């Protein structure tokens, strides 16, 4: 079993690359952002809790997010591995993921970061916002708030995974297929 954490700032291309990698390596893709958006659209209790945070570009509280992630993992007992996209985003989430996977005899195999410059990504998100319908992609102040959340709460995960010798980074700028190739080279060497 291989469990990959796809890591990177909003707009770095995690979702796009996950679509290719899940097929190539036969992995179960879990995007916490997608699960939250699905719940929002369907007006579930979880969606109502998440909405206020998502609208402001803030992280949904850890307890809510961790419970949701665990429920998603439990839906796939026979998988060959997971591709986590947008999770974990805080040290608490990473610790909870380690503990949860370990309770099943599993572990995070590697974390792979898609690296890109903030200014390039802000432009990319504003472009995406024109067609994605995502409120959090349409307002530059909200986008910048998501980057502050990332720098404050998510960036410390780099040291967390480096300490476990599980952190890998690839250049996230370039043609989509080229970036898939860079990510695949890391996965093939695991």
Q: Given the rule CB under 6 A, which residues bind ligand AMP?
A: 10, 32-33, 36, 53-54, 57-60, 65, 86-87, 89, 93, 136, 146
Question: What is the closest distance, in whole angstroms, from the C-beta atom of residue 188 to ligand AMP in the complex?
Answer: 26
Contact 17, 177 (CB under 8 A): no
Q: Is the dihedral of CA 171, 80, 163, 99 positive or negative?
A: positive
When the beta carbons of 44 and 185 are compared against ligand AMP, the nearer one is 44
Burial class from Cβ neighbours inside 10 Å (0-12, 13-18, 19+) for residue 190 reads exposed
Marked catalytic residue, from 22, 124, 146, 153: 146
Question: For residues 178 and 176, what is the distance between their CA atoms, to the nearest angstrom?
Answer: 5
**Could you confirm whether 89 is annotated as catalytic?**
yes
Question: What is the closest distance, in whole angstroms, from the C-beta atom of residue 43 to ligand AMP in the complex?
Answer: 16
When the beta carbons of 53 and 188 are compared against ligand AMP, the nearer one is 53
Question: What is the closest distance, in whole angstroms, from the C-beta atom of residue 17 to ligand AMP in the complex?
Answer: 13
**Could you confirm whether 134 is annotated as catalytic?**
yes
How is residue 116 written in tokens? 């890109």
Question: What is the closest distance, in whole angstroms, from the C-beta atom of residue 7 to ligand AMP in the complex?
Answer: 11
When the beta carbons of 18 and 27 are compared against ligand AMP, the nearer one is 18
Marked catalytic residue, from 134, 144, 166, 182: 134
**Could you confirm whether 24 is annotated as catalytic?**
no
- Can you list the pairs that 75-80 forms with residues at least 24 positions away whose Cβ atoms lie under 8 Å? 76/28, 79/1, 79/27, 79/28, 80/1, 80/2, 80/25, 80/26, 80/27, 80/28
Catalogue the active-site residues. 14, 89, 128, 134, 146
């Amino acid at each position: 079993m291989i469990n990959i954490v796809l890591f990177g700032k909003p707009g770095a291309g995690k979702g796009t690359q996950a679509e290719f990698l899940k097929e190539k390596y036969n992995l179960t893709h879990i995007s916490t952002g997608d699960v939250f958006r699905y719940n929002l659209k369907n007006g579930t209790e979880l969606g109502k809790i998440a909405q206020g945070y998502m609208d402001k570009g803030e992280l949904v509280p850890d307890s809510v997010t961790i419970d949701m992630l665990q429920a998603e993992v439990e839906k796939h007992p026979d998988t060959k591995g997971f591709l986590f996209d947008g999770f974990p985003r805080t040290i608490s989430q990473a610790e909870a993921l380690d503990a949860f996977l370990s309770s099943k005899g599993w572990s995070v195999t590697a974390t792979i970061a898609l690296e890109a410059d903030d200014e390039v990504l802000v432009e990319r998100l504003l472009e995406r916002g024109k067609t994605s319908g995502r409120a959090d992609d349409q307002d530059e102040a909200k986008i910048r708030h998501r980057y502050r959340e990332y720098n404050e709460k998510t960036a410390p995960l780099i040291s967390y995974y480096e300490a476990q010798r599980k952190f890998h980074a690839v250049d996230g700028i370039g043609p989509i297929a080229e970036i898939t190739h860079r990510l695949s080279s890391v996965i093939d060497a695991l």
